Structure 1
Amino acid sequence: MTPEQRLAALGLTLPEIVPPLAAYVPAVRTGDYVYTSGQLPLVDGKLPVTGKVGAEVEVEVAKEQARMCALNGLAAIASVAGGLSNIVRIVKVVVFVASAPDFTSQHLVGNGASELLGEVLGEAGKHARSAVGVATLPLNAPVEVEFVAEVR
């Protein structure tokens, strides 16, 4: 199956590219690599959930938000790579989690993004990853994810 077919089998479609919130572009291609800007879990231009994970936001909810970040990231990558099928491999994923002071399960939140990448891209979705707790994120988002992808 192609990545597009896997995406459809999951009942998902690539969303419209999230417009930048400031002075940057969603993704940049340089040679065989695409670097994305941080992707928020925006749906139709709005955050469905806000707040800190471990306080206002439960881990499972934040994990779903990370999944949405990954879907937005795939859309950004595909927009400069000529489609999902041109992704050779997701190389690196960085997950930023707006965390309550005592929250230490950022890695579990990051699984939402990582699992979606595997479901859509198969082996090409396996990647190195960092999951980092931060004090706050833009628009009070609970999670933000950025990507480095190798493309053809």
Structure 2
Amino acid sequence: MADNNELIKEIQNQCKYFANDIVTRLCKRAIRKMKAWEIKIGEDNYPESFNFFDILSIECQSKCYDEISPCLKDAIEGVLDNEYDNLLPQERFFVDYSRCYYDNGYDPISVKQLIYKRFNELLNEHWRIKKISNFEESRSW
């Protein structure tokens, strides 16, 4: 039985290794789709060159999704969930079993949390790009 537990732990550890890259790629595909959205959010006059994701990264620094727009969280989660559903079977295996926690089995809530957390990390990283930091500087004057 101890050998089985060690094998399960090794499988999960290997899945975690691949899952991080898969989840990042999944989020980036979702972001590309969101950049094409023609949804206007925020009160500020953003430059024409800013896409939805640029503005979202600024707005999320001081507000939660519900404060920005009542349906925004559902829309974002819908795109992320759709990208997860479109993963290849082997990619889904790695993502699903990276969140298995040895004896607990597959936990779909934990998988979604992993994806949403990585998306929010990418959103915060995006806020630091030069285009946005230049806009933030000019806005503070």
TM-score for the superposition, normalised by structure 2? 0.30
Name the one with the larger helix percent: 2
TM-score for the superposition, normalised by structure 1? 0.28
Structure number with larger C-alpha Rg: 2
Name the one with the larger strand percent: 1
